[in-house]
Each structure stands twice: as structure tokens, then as C-alpha cells.
Structure 1
Amino acid sequence: MGDILVGTCSWTDRELVRSGWYPVGRRDAEGRLRHYAERFPVVEVDASYYALPSARNSLLWAERTPPGFVFDVKAFSLLTGHPTRNAALPEELRGGPRGPGVLDEVWERFAAGIAPLRRAGRLGSVLFQFPPWFRPGATAEEFLADCARRTRGWPVAVEFRHPAWWSAERGGATRALLARYGMAAVAVDMNRTLPASVPPVTSVTTSRLSVVRFHGRSAAWGTGSKEERFRHAYTDAELAEWVPRLRALAERVERIHALFNNCCGDAAVRAAEALTRLLGPAGAR
């Protein structure tokens, strides 16, 4: 049976820091990461979506965490087709047209920024979370093919936010597409009553890894403020729904990352603690 690693989608979120979950004396950058890594074996780096990661930070993260701890790094916004502010780009790339040369340079800098994690064996995956308008079709498949070419040799996970990717009619083709490139499919837990709701499909597309991201079940998903979208405290009953699904996935893959994205106060870390307890010592580490 594969390992089930449970964690959260950030350890630096301001609301988490303000919640008091980090004890006095461990609220600086180093102390927070060490405290988190003593309690969970995996974390997602969400800051890399907003700004290119730096090799120096990656090296420090590897040094400040125990052997076996891994980081899932979220792909920079420009690499997934999201709007990207000029201020998020390196200074010398701002202001001009964003042609192929700029994109090539951004890819190179992203790769250099995560290189220390790769060398240390601490890169769990690079998460490509595509925008809601990234719908199935030839253009999207060409984009994915380019991503696969540029990330050859990396552990990659893909989250689609357009529900058509995992519809009953399209799901098989989506699984085959990701399997062709060795990319792990990301399953999601979210409010299931909205037009943009992605179904909680747990597809295995590579034997190495499966990822589940818990977004919370707020009805404000996609419309409200960040706090409204992610304000959800998972109950034990809601988490218990996922225990048999995660165990079934663990029969088919070497490793599962179960990550909580309901980053509002300490809700994500509390949910991660609860899921770890529900899985029991044989089900999570």
C-alpha cells in the first residue's frame, strides 16, 4: 500500500500565523517551517504562483525540514495561462511584449528556483492548476504537450478547474491524456452544487503519485473574497467520506498527497490533523 501524506496548501498564510497555531518563539520564517514539518510530512508552496521561486529559499526549505519531508510547488501564474502582473516578473522582463522569449526565460528561472529541492529529493510535485477557462480542446492539449516537454523528468500534478475535463463523457480521454505524459491527476473536494463545481473524481494516471486538494465546501467558491471562498471547517463526517477513497487510491499508487486548501485561520491545519487521525497509524504518515 502506498503512503498517504497529509498536509496543507500553505504554512505561511497570514491568517494561519495570526490564529495562534504557531507557538511563541516559533513565529519567524525558520521557526514556522520547522514547527509545521514536525507535524506534517508534506506542504504546498503557494507563493510560487504569485512570484518566481528562488533557489536560496528552496535550499533553506530543504535544510530546515527533516529527511523525507516534501514540497509540492505551485507553478507560476504565467506558466498556467493565468493573468500575471508585471510586478511579478523579474525587473528586466517587465514592460515589453510577452513573446516566446519572455516565456522561455520565465520557465528557465522557475526551473532554477526549484532545482535545490529536486537535487535534495524534496520536490514532491509541481502543481499546474489551470484556470476555469482552460477547457478541453486542441488548444489546451497543445498547451499540455508544451508543459510536458518543458517539465520532462519532473514530478507533475495537474488540476483542472473546468468541470468538463472530468465529465462522464470526457473523463476517459482526460485520464489517457495525463497518463501519456506521466502527469498525476489532482482530485478535488469542494462544494458540489455550483455550476463550476468539479466532480470529486479520483483518477490514477501515474503509479507514482496521486494528489487530492481539499478546497472547502463554501458556496462562495469562484465569486466571493478569498476568505469567503475558503472559509470552511471540515467536520469529521465530511473527512470520513474520503478515508475509503484515499485507502483505495493507496492500493494503486506509491504515494498520495492529501492537501487542505481551506486556508482561513487554522482551519486547514486542524482538518489535516483530523484526517490524519481518521486514517490511523497504518493509513497516514
Structure 2
Amino acid sequence: MTGKVWIGCSGWIYSDWNGTFYPRGTRDYLEYYSSLFNTVEINSTFYAQIPRATILSWIRRTGSRDFKFSIKAPSALTHEKMLDSPDEAIEEFEDFLSLEIEPLKQAGKLAAVLLQFPPFFGEREFRSNLDTFAHIGGSKLPVFAELRDRNLLKERSEWLRSNGIGIVAVDSPDYPLSLFHEDSQYFRFHGRNSKDWNSRNGMEKYRYNYSNEELSHLFESVSRSLANHDQIFIYFNNHPGGNGPRNALAMSSFLAGSGSVQGRIY
């Protein structure tokens, strides 16, 4: 069975990609990036609201290309309202939809919505947000949750899936890909830098270059998932030093050579 693979990186603007991924003198990074990949995961929305004019410029610059954006929900939702004020979480989600998701959806440029929860979001917090999760799942958008509490991942994944929210499969030092259900549809590859994983330096923890052997194993997991879905999403978040796009291009080559994908992947 063949399906659509959306593959790219978590972001496209990193200074150390100059000369490692972007040719020196590249003027429009998004134009160059979108010539090689068909999707990007936007993480800046986690920290602050993106102006509509900026989102419209993304849409314009990717033009008629088969290219889409996955958007991470704001920390105000996953790290504030759903923790401290669950009764205000639905309103926060609706604001996020209208201000940042709707323009991409209307333009046919929305890939998925990512909910990334902190490790301290556990069962108690989950139970306080059942109505919010049901509301988010009922939005009929492709929404995926990255859970960082192992018990929650084990006990609540099926409930979320049955309520319209998929589970993000990650690969990282503390959450190897083998922990996740082979039916996952959204993949985030953070790297395996166990030495610096708990470092306060946010850049160093993601400094990792997957070997060809490791990429081959990741490809096997992705392929099993692809057999069960009409589309999957893959994002490399090991961005320091240009490792993310380097590994994403290698994975694209694996996928293109497998004959199991539809349409453009790079």
C-alpha cells in the first residue's frame, strides 16, 4: 500500500545552516527549503503568536508548491491553561485556531497541529482536561499529542486516538521509537545525544547526526506505519549543525527508493 509522506525539519531558520545546508548567499531560506522538502514544523508558535502577515507571507512564498506547515500549539495552552486553568483551555485553543491555524487551513497549507506536553502533565492533569481534549479532537483537524509522561502514554493513548487525537512517536534518549505503537502517523526525531540530553543548553541536546544504520531502522518503523495510513508526517528536530536537513534528505532517499510513497517528497 502506498501513501503520502510529508517529511521535513522542525523549523528552517538556523544560523548554523548557512554553509551546511543553505548555500552561502541564499536570500530566501523558505524558498530554498521548500524546493527540497514538502513540509516544515513551526515551533515558534509555542513561544509567541505569529502575526497573520507573517503566515500569509509563508503561504505566498511557497505558492503552488505541494508544501504544508505543521503548527505547534502555544505553551499558553499546553503548559499554562491546561495545567492551571483547565476551564479556560478551550477558549485558548479556539483563539489559536482562528489566529494561526485558519489562514493555513483556508489556503490548503495546513499539515497538522502539534500538542507538546511537559513531563509533569500526568494523569491528574489529564483528567482535569477531558472536555478540552474532546473539544480539540472534535475540531476534525489532524491533531497529534506528544506525551512526555510514560504512564500517561501507556494508559491514555488509546483514549486520545478514539477521541480524534493521534499520538506523536518520538525518537530521543529517554523515549526511543520502540516505545510507540507501530500505527503512529506523526514522527519527531530528536536525536540520541544522551550525554547532553538533560543539558540546560537547548541547542546541544539536539546535536546529533543519525548514522545510515540508524536511519535505516527509523525507515523500517516509518514504512510499517505507512502501510496503515494514507499519509504520515516526519520531522527531524536534530537541527544543530545542519544535521536535521541532512538526515531528512537521507530519509527522503530511502522512501523514494522504496516505491511506497505517493507524490513529491523532495
8 Å CA contact 1:74–1:129 kept in 2: the answer is yes
Matches within 5 A, 1:1-285: 1-16=2-17, 18-27=18-27, 31-65=28-62, 66-81=64-79, 106-111=92-97, 112-135=99-122, 137-143=123-129, 145-150=131-136, 152-166=139-153, 171=154, 173-191=155-173, 197-200=174-177, 201-203=179-181, 210-219=185-194, 220-281=196-257, 282-284=259-261, 285=265
Please state how far the C-alpha of 1:50 moved relative to its aligned partner. 0.8
In the superposition, relative to structure 1, how do residues 222 and 164 fare at CA in structure 2: closer, same or farther (>3 Å)?
farther
TM-score in terms of structure 1 length? 0.80
8 Å CA contact 1:262–1:268 kept in 2: the answer is yes
Q: Which amino acid in 1 is paired with 2:22?
A: Y
- Counterpart secondary structure, 1:158: strand
In the superposition, relative to structure 1, how do residues 61 and 276 fare at CA in structure 2: closer, same or farther (>3 Å)?
same
8 Å CA contact 1:129–1:160 kept in 2: the answer is yes
8 Å CA contact 1:54–1:114 kept in 2: the answer is no
- Counterpart secondary structure, 2:171: strand
What stretches of structure 1 move > 3 A for 4+ residues in a row?
98-109
Instruction: Work out the CA distance in 1 between the residues paired with 2:222 and 2:201.
Output: 30
| Larger helix share, 1 or 2 | 2
CA RMSD, 1 decimal: 2.5
Q: Which amino acid in 1 is paired with 2:54?
A: N
8 Å CA contact 1:127–1:156 kept in 2: the answer is yes
Q: Which stretch shifts more, 239-248 or 174-183?
A: 174-183
Instruction: Work out the CA distance in 1 between the residues paired with 2:229 and 2:223.
Output: 10
In the superposition, relative to structure 1, how do residues 273 and 144 fare at CA in structure 2: closer, same or farther (>3 Å)?
farther
Please state how far the C-alpha of 1:184 moved relative to its aligned partner. 1.6
Instruction: Work out the CA distance in 1 between the residues paired with 2:86 and 2:228.
Output: 39
TM-score in terms of structure 2 length? 0.85
> CA offsets, 1:61-103, max 9 Å, x none?
12211443111101111111259xxxxxxxxxxxxxx968976
- Counterpart secondary structure, 1:38: helix
Q: Which stretch shifts more, 2-11 or 122-131?
A: 2-11
Please state how far the C-alpha of 1:116 moved relative to its aligned partner. 0.8
In the superposition, relative to structure 1, how do residues 145 and 238 fare at CA in structure 2: closer, same or farther (>3 Å)?
farther
Aligned residues, how many? 253
> CA offsets, 1:10-62, max 9 Å, x none?
1013332x4442234433xxx11111111001110011011112222222212
Instruction: Work out the CA distance in 2 between the residues paired with 1:250 and 1:190.
Output: 21
Instruction: Work out the CA distance in 2 between the residues paired with 1:35 and 1:182.
Output: 34
Q: Which amino acid in 2 is paired with 1:60?
A: S
Instruction: Work out the CA distance in 1 between the residues paired with 2:130 and 2:189.
Output: 24
8 Å CA contact 2:89–2:132 kept in 1: the answer is no
> CA offsets, 1:128-176, max 9 Å, x none?
01001112x243133254044146122201111122234xxxx3x4332
What stretches of structure 1 of length at least 5 have no aligned partner?
84-97, 192-196
Identity of aligned pairs, percent? 30
Q: Which stretch shifts more, 122-131 or 102-111?
A: 102-111
